[in-house]
Amino acid sequence: MKEKSIDKATLQMMEKAKCDNVCTAFDRAAQQEPRCGFGELGVCCQQCYMGPCRVDPLGKGAQYGACGIDADGIVARNIARNTAIGASAHSDHGRDVAHNLYMTSQGKAQGYEIKDPVKLMYVAEELSVDTSSGDVKKIAAEVAHKCMAEFGKQEGELIMAQRAPEKQKERWRKLKVMPRGVDREIVEVLHMVHMGMDADYRNLLMFAIKAGLSDGWGGSMIATDLTDIQFGSPNPLRSKANLGVLGENTVNILVHGHEPTLSEMIVKVARTPEMKALAKKKGAEDITVAGICCTANEILMRQGAPLAGNYLMQELAIVTGAVESMVVDVQCIMPGITQVAPCYHTKIITTSKKARIPGAVHYQFEEERAVDIARQIVTESIENYSNRKRDRVQIPKESSDLIAGFTTENVFYHLGGKFRPSFKPLNEGMIQGRLRGVVGVVGCNNTKVVHDYNHVNFVKELLKHDVLVVTTGCSAGCLAKHGFLDPEGGLQYCGNGLKEICVAVGIPPVLHLGSCVDNSRILTACIEMVKEGGIGTDLSQLPVAGSAPEAMSSKATSIALYVAASGIAVHFYPPFQVHGSKKVTEYLTSEMEKDFGAYFIFEGDPKKAAQKIIAHLDKKREALKLKPMMYPPLNGETDKKAAEKQAAVSKS
Ligand code: MSK
Ligand 1: lining residues by beta carbon, under 6 Å: 258, 293-294, 311, 332, 443-444, 473-474, 515-516, 552-553, 555
Distance 118 CA to ligand 1 centre (A): 30
443-479 pLDDT, tens per residue?
999 999 999 999 999 999 999 999 999 999 999 999 9
Q: pLDDT band for 638, please (50, 70, 90 cuts).
A: very low
Q: Is a pLDDT exceeding 60 seen at residue 642?
A: no
Atom of ligand 1 lying closest to residue 473 CA: 4
What number is the average pLDDT over the span 83-109? 97
CA angle 511, 293, 261 (to 5 degrees): 95
For residue 626, pLDDT beyond 90: yes
pLDDT surpassing 50 at residue 306? yes
> Would you state the pLDDT for residue 422?
80
Is the pLDDT reported for residue 126 higher than 70? yes
- The pLDDT tens digits for 566-606 are 999 999 999 999 999 999 999 999 999 999 999 999 999 99
**Which of ligand 1's atoms lies nearest the C-alpha of 556?**
2
Q: How far is the CA of 496 from the centre of ligand 1 (A)?
A: 32
Angle between helices 136-152 and 117-126 (to 10 degrees): 50
Any idea which of 232-246, 407-421, 446-460, 638-652 has the lowest mean pLDDT? 638-652
The type of residue at 256 is H
Confidence of residue 633 (pLDDT cuts 50, 70, 90): confident
State the Cα–Cα distance between residues 40 and 580, nearest whole angstrom.
8
Residue from 331, 471, 572 whose mutation best tests the ligand 1 pocket (most atoms within 8 A of CB): 331
Pick 646 or 259 by higher pLDDT: 259
CA of 226 relative to ligand 1 center, distance in Å: 20
Measured distance CA(405)–CA(264) in Å, rounded: 15
Residues 392-427 pLDDT 10s:
999 999 999 999 999 998 886 766 655 556 888 899
- pLDDT at residue 279 tops 70: yes
Model confidence band, residue 487 (pLDDT cutoffs 50, 70, 90):
confident
If residue 568 lies in a helix (H) or strand (E), which one and from where to where?
Answer: none
Atom of ligand 1 nearest to the CA of 311: 3
Cβ-count burial of 607 within 10 angstroms (0-12 exposed, 13-18 middle, 19+ buried)? middle
Residue nearest to atom 3 of ligand 1 (CA): 444
Among 478, 485, 445, 475, residue whose Cα is nearest residue 239: 485
C-alpha distances (whole Å) from 53 to each of 106, 601, 602 are 52, 29, 26
Share of the chain above pLDDT 70, in %: 95
pTM of the model: 0.95
Give me the domains of the chain, ranges plus CATH numbers. Answer: 35-64 (no CATH), 71-231 (1.20.1270.30), 243-392 (3.40.50.2030), 404-651 (3.40.50.2030)
The residue contributing the CA closest to ligand 1 atom 8 is 332
Best substitution site from 310, 328, 444 to test ligand 1's pocket, by max atoms within 8 Å of Cβ?
444
Tens of pLDDT, residue by residue over 282-291, are 999 999 999 9
Instruction: Name the pairing type of β-strands 361-362 and 467-472.
Output: unpaired
Task: Give the C-alpha separation, 461 to 466, whole Å.
Answer: 9
Q: What mean pLDDT do residues 301-327 have?
A: 98
Closest C-alpha residue for ligand 1 atom 7: 444
pLDDT at 632: 85
* pLDDT score, position 652: 43
* CA dist., res. 151 & res. 623, Å (int): 38
For every residue of 579-635, DSSP letters joined together read TT-HHHHHIIIIIHHHHHS--EE--S-HHHHHHHHHHHHHHHHHHHTPPPPSSPPP-
